[in-house]
Amino acid sequence: MSKSIPSFNDFFQVIENYVSSPKQNRGDVVKYYSPSEISQQINLQISENGEDLASLVEYAKKYLELSVNTGSKQFLNQLFSGFNFPAFFGEMVAASSNTTMATFEAAPVATEIERELIRLMNTYTGYENGDGIFLTGGSNSNLIAMFSARNRIFPEGRISGVDGNLKLKAFVNEQAHYSFDTAANLLGIGTENVVKVKADSQGRMIPSELERALEASINKGETPFFVAATCGTTMLGAFDPINKMVSICQKYNVWFHVDGAFGGSLILSPKYRHFFMGLEHADSFTWDAHKVMNIPLICSVILVKQAGTLHHNIVGANTDYLYHSNSVEEDLGEKSIQCGRRADAVKLWFSWKCYGKEGYAKRVENLMAMATHAEEIVKQTPKLELLVPRQSLNICFRYVPKVNVDLNKFNLTIRENLRKSGESIVNYGYIGETLAIRLVVSNGDMQKEDVEQFFQNFMSIANQVESNINE
């Protein structure tokens, strides 16, 4: 059967209407529907013979109508948010060319863009002879860091496999991201060999505890090979003391990785670069531009101090059907565990070209100012309790009513009611046994009125929940 073909303008009009809507900035974050209700709102089944392309325009409208508007300044739920037009434009450009980053001949401009951005990002880390590559997220970046550490201490393992007799041990903050456990699992090291080092009351790894754990491991005949610091823990936004950890890692000759997936972008501002003192001595660094830099998912990088590290990881990449020995250009695929790889560097390049180095520094400084403002509101609001002093972009607090209730259940009810109202979305987690509302300020365009609007929405729901108990 014939199928009608809509114009590009029909498709782009749907997108334009969505991103230019007032809701994109300060309106509802989501029109909440349950899973079963979503299935009633949009036909999810695939038919035998397909449908007109014109129907896809209507599906696009419905998809966007039902989706969470992560560009809204009231989306405070994840470690990312915001709509970045130049990066969005770059995403469309990259998707239009639909190339693979494996070889220069398939992606000549994108290859040079990625090489330039790796060079630029290494000017911030201080890696004078560094390298790097774009990956599919911070979790994979942490995986590559541990992979590189394993290959340095046991290069034969690339061919013969992991030697269990080595008893390899990795050490991370007890509040580090779960991706380190996943990496140990995938690499055959085992999650039980990831040692969780004690953190202080603000979530920062205690250097003396790290050294104690390393000594204990060596005394048991084990082989410490990897230590990771975190710059911006997922719950508290804590920064491990890199400078104090560097000397310990050098003393014990272990790979020192810094996971800056969330907080790494603060390095863009000279005002906050002190958080990263000692980074130039670390072996590798994770940096997610899709978080604080507001680049569309996914846009993540691993940077390494020593050029050649990533090439050393790869064996068996001498496939003459893809990588040709007579090529004078560098094929990025030869240092990547992926073959087909999207041109994620392009959208970051478009954004950085637009804002510039100074512009991004100001965006980061604005975020910290908005986080400070949020913390002050919590401190000044009688029924709100700040659970941990703010360190970066995370504010952990809870509502304490006058009535005697289970505060964990009470605050969870507030959060769920607020989420389903669609006015604001904020997440939660636990600090020990205490449920904390975790407000993350990561939308670079946020202003004070947006922060204040969140607390108005939150307090309105909280007062309703408290009133219902009193009744």
Q: What's the pLDDT tens digit per position in 55-114? A: 888 899 999 989 999 999 999 999 999 999 999 999 999 999 999 998 888 999 999 999
Q: What's the pLDDT tens digit per position in 179-198? A: 999 999 999 999 999 999 99
| CA proximity to 207, closest of 177, 243, 232 | 243
Instruction: Tell me if 33 sits within 8 A of 41, measured CB to CB.
Output: yes
Instruction: Tell me if 117 sits within 8 A of 289, measured CB to CB.
Output: no
Instruction: Tell me if 246 sits within 8 A of 407, measured CB to CB.
Output: no
Complete DSSP assignment for 400-411: --SS---HHHHH
Give the C-alpha separation, 465 to 471, whole Å: 10
Max intra-chain CA distance, the chain: 80
Task: Write out the two tokens for 449.
Answer: 């009125």
Instruction: Tell me if 411 sits within 8 A of 433, measured CB to CB.
Output: no
Does domain 90-351 fall under CATH 3.40.640.10? My reply is: yes
Task: Write out the two tokens for 73.
Answer: 């300044």
Task: Write out the two tokens for 463.
Answer: 């007062």
Q: How far is CA 205 from CA 171, 175, 411, in A?
A: 10, 9, 28
pLDDT of 468: 86
| CA proximity to 125, closest of 256, 311, 315 | 256
Q: What residue type is assigned to position 226 of the chain?
A: F
pLDDT of 274: 96
Spans in the chain with pLDDT lower than 70: 1-6, 21-27, 316-329, 470-471
Neighbours of 212 (CB within 10 A): 13
Instruction: Tell me if 379 sits within 8 A of 371, measured CB to CB.
Output: no
Q: What is the DSSP letter of 275?
A: G
Cis omega (within 30 of 0) for bond into 46: no
Secondary-structure breakdown of the chain: helix, strand, coil percentages, each rounded to the nearest 5 = 50, 15, 40
237: left (phi over 0), alpha (psi -120 to 50) or beta: left
